[in-house]
Amino acid sequence: MFSSVKQLRIDLITLNVLSLARRPLFFPNCLLFSYISCRKFSFFFALNKILPGGRGLFIERGPGLLLYAIGDLHLSLETNKSMEVFGGAWDGYIDKIRNGFSGLGPNDICVICGDLSWAMDLDSAAKDFHFLDSLPGRKIVLKGNHDYWWSTATKLQSFFDREGINTIHILHNNCYFYNEYAICGTRGWFFDQDTGTDQDRKILNRELHRLETSLQCAGDRKKICFLHYPPRYHVYVCQEIVSLMSKYGVTDCCYGHIHGFAKRFVVEGNVEQIHYRNVAADNVNFKPVPLL
Ligand SMILES: [Fe+2]
Ligand SMILES: [Fe+2]
């Protein structure tokens, strides 16, 4: 088994999940172990200044690994905000999600592009996390505008450890290595140059910083960027985010957030050397979209 395991490799850089660094973690068919991932000391030192506890993990497994993305599951198994009230595509959406994930293998990876749960805190989100954990594949989760349960990476990892959740990882000021690719991203933000407030500018600047940290972690690898907010929508362009992706050579960008009627204005396909995809669950029939 382990001879084929070396055909594919994911390096996972976590910069602030200290608990992961304390002991080996075991996934089916794969071994994870901590190592200091930044090859240049100065780069490592710089990252450590931003996020103490820089660590990385290898994830090794057999052939056939696929990378998927989906966003906006809007789970509500504990709270009373089921998307069923909207009807249409959302009718029976929990079963649709379960069916949609059924094609994934246990070691496939699915990036969840935000708006995972309606829960307002971690304890209220437990049922949603257990549901996601029960689905096939390993999930990399980034923050959406409705993820009020979001906390620090350390607190999230402690929560996962306490709850026995071991297929969910957080994308936040870090990146994950997938063969020659790096999985990068952040929530993003809508920012209109004409109507944006000072507060919007502040939030955008923070998101730009997080995205650049993630892209810098990727080093020389090809970069795929995952966002919650679309950097392009109809005639709108968040030029700062697009420019940052271009600067770091991002080839693909997946995003969520756009639902229902609004999807008619989504920007998809190639624009200035970046391939865009909207992967909000109701726009992809609740089935993770295969990327690689
Ligand atoms: Fe959203
Ligand atoms: Fe959403």
Tell how far the Cα of 48 is from the centroid of ligand 2, in angstroms. Answer: 33
Tell how far the Cα of 107 is from the centroid of ligand 1, in angstroms. Answer: 27
CA distance 122 to 77: 13
- Sign (positive or negative) of CA dihedral 202, 254, 47, 50: positive
**Cβ pair 215, 184 in contact under 8 A:** yes
Tokens encoding 255: 């995003």
Tell how far the Cα of 63 is from the centroid of ligand 1, in angstroms. Answer: 34
- The closest ligand to the CA of 72 turns out to be 2
Q: 11-34 pLDDT, tens per residue? A: 333 333 322 332 222 222 222 222
* Model pLDDT, residue 82: 86
Q: 134-191 pLDDT, tens per residue? A: 999 999 999 999 999 999 999 999 999 999 999 999 999 999 988 888 999 999 999 8
Tell how far the Cα of 71 is from the centroid of ligand 2, in angstroms. Answer: 7
Tell how far the Cα of 256 is from the centroid of ligand 2, in angstroms. Answer: 7
- The closest ligand to the CA of 86 turns out to be 2
CA distance 279 to 230: 10
Tell how far the Cα of 210 is from the centroid of ligand 2, in angstroms. Answer: 21
Query: Which domains are assigned to the chain?
Result: 8-290 (3.60.21.10)
Closest CA to 141 of 131, 129, 130: 129
User: Between the CA of residue 233 and those of 170, 265, 271, 283, what are the distances in Å?
Assistant: 26, 6, 12, 15
For ligand 1, an ion, list residues with CB under 5 A. Answer: 115, 144-145, 257
CA-based diameter of the chain, in Å? Answer: 57
Number of C-beta neighbours around residue 46 at 10 A? 14
pTM score, whole prediction: 0.81
What single DSSP character describes residue 75? Answer: B
* Model pLDDT, residue 24: 27
Tokens encoding 162: 């306490």
Tell how far the Cα of 144 is from the centroid of ligand 2, in angstroms. Answer: 7
- What number of residues does the chain have? 292
Number of C-beta neighbours around residue 119 at 10 A? 23
- The closest ligand to the CA of 188 turns out to be 1
Q: How far is CA 23 from the centre of its chain?
A: 24
Q: 43-52 pLDDT, tens per residue? A: 332 232 223 2
